[in-house]
């Protein structure tokens, strides 16, 4: 007998749609492998919601409806135009919130409201949205603890590259000494191109933008802030601390020159944008910045838009994980993984 798990999905952008696709395509497989029957009780976007009956919403039909440009709040008999995320979370009986609204690093909204509303109701939270988690880590952590709920953020911390699971499950019982990560694909692509071809930063950035690897406004990535957000979240969880974006020194890659790259190459090194968290006698020190790595360093060979994380522990020594698809499907796969593991 499978266990039913009812989901409210907030946010129907590319990641939300990719998750819908996974729910539609492999619900039966998940039920038979994990004994969990996933039911999409409601889906919400900016203009309103669709709320399912006891069987939930038909994910495949909803996806088809959205893909031709229709809004969720116009989804047949399930349509509830104007219903907000908070109203949906408050009114619909469900076990898990999946939060994929756009990341907002000013006030975390609307994700912040969704996350707090879900935790107040005792729901598990699975989030691809970094905003509320980065800005309100301590408050969210505290409320989750009070309500005995989990907040699962794999999709917000390098998506399909497993970072938190590895730190929590695979290193259980070992003492974590240091975390080093190449956590941003577009900056790693730019640096890799500069190193391979000797081209300048602007040329490599332009190429990355043309290929869709870098954003039109790349500042969050190239200034190191995206890496900072990820390393803060990973370090908070794995070192049991509660730091925010203000507690980390951040340097981006915008000042890296052709000469810097050549000097590193001449010394047998490569330049990588590293997020680092180091346990010290006085706590945990966080930083983001370009570093010159020796060729033997396990992150030195991580090229292109690939990401990777390396954990240094006392008893297991160094464990490095690399790869993971950077795409809406990869992020949705990370959401699905957290959802399955949370149940």
Question: Of the residues 230, 272, 291, 307, which is catalytic?
Answer: 230
Q: Hey, which residues does 99 pair with through a beta bridge?
A: 10, 127
Q: CA-to-CA distance for 225 and 275, rounded, in angstroms?
A: 10
Per-residue binding string, its own copies, 150-189, x by CB under 8 A, is ----------xxx--xx--xxxxxxx--------------
Using rule CB under 8 A, residue 339 touches its own copies: yes
Q: CA-to-CA distance for 40 and 43, rounded, in angstroms?
A: 7
For residue 230, indicate whether it is catalytic. Answer: yes
Using rule CB under 8 A, residue 322 touches its own copies: yes
Using rule CB under 8 A, residue 323 touches its own copies: yes
- The structure tokens listed for 21 are 């696709």
Query: With respect to its own copies, which residue has the nearer C-beta, 73 or 99?
Result: 99
Contacts of 266 (CB under 8 A, 6+ apart): none
Contacts of 186 (CB under 8 A, 6+ apart): 208, 213, 214, 215, 218, 221, 222, 305
Using rule CB under 8 A, residue 145 touches its own copies: no
DSSP string, 79-99: EEET--HHHHHHHS--SEEEE
Using rule CB under 8 A, residue 4 touches its own copies: no
Q: Are 73 and 80 in contact (CB under 8 A)?
A: yes
| Count of C-beta atoms within a 10 Å radius of residue 260 | 16
Per-residue binding string, its own copies, 268-307, x by CB under 8 A, is ----------------------------x-x--x-x----
Per-residue binding string, its own copies, 37-76, x by CB under 8 A, is ----------------------------------------
Q: Are 112 and 137 in contact (CB under 8 A)?
A: no
Using rule CB under 8 A, residue 329 touches its own copies: yes
Q: Which residues bind its own copies (CB under 8 A)?
A: 22, 26, 29-30, 34, 160-162, 165-166, 169-175, 296, 298, 301, 303, 310, 313, 315-325, 329-330, 332-334, 336-337, 339-341
Q: Which residues are known to be catalytic?
A: 230
């Amino acid at each position: 007998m499978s266990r039913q798990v009812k989901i409210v999905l907030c946010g129907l952008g590319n990641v939300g749609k990719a998750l819908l696709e996974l729910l539609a395509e492999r619900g039966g497989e998940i039920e038979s492998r994990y004994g969990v029957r996933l039911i999409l009780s409601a889906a919400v976007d900016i203009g309103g919601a669709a709320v399912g009956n006891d069987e939930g919403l038909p994910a495949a039909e909803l996806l088809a409806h959205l893909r031709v440009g229709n809004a969720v709040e116009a989804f047949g008999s399930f349509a509830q135009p104007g219903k907000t995320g908070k109203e949906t979370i408050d009114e619909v009986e469900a076990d898990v919130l999946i939060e994929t609204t756009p990341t907002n690093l000013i006030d975390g909204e609307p994700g912040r409201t969704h996350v707090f509303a879900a935790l107040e109701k005792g729901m598990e939270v699975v989030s691809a949205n970094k905003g509320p988690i980065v800005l309100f880590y301590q408050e969210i952590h505290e409320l989750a603890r009070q309500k005995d709920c989990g907040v699962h953020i794999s999709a917000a911390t390098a998506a399909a590259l497993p970072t938190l699971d590895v730190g929590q499950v695979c290193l259980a019982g070992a003492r974590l000494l240091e975390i080093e990560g190449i956590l941003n694909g577009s900056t790693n692509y730019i640096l890799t191109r500069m190193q391979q071809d000797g081209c300048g930063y602007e040329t490599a950035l332009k190429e990355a933008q043309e290929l869709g690897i870098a954003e039109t406004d790349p500042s969050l990535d190239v200034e190191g802030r995206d890496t900072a957000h990820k390393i803060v979240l990973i370090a908070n969880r794995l070192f049991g601390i509660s730091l925010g974006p203000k507690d980390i020194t951040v340097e981006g890659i915008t000042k890296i020159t052709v000469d810097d790259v050549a000097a590193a190459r001449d010394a047998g090194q490569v330049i990588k944008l590293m997020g680092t968290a180091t346990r010290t006698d006085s706590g945990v020190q966080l930083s983001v910045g370009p570093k010159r790595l020796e060729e033997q360093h396990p992150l030195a060979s991580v090229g292109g838009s690939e990401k990777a994380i390396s954990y240094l522990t006392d008893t297991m020594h160094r464990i490095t994980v690399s790869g993971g698809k950077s795409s809406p499907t990869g992020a949705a796969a990370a959401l699905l993984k957290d959802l399955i593991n949370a149940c």
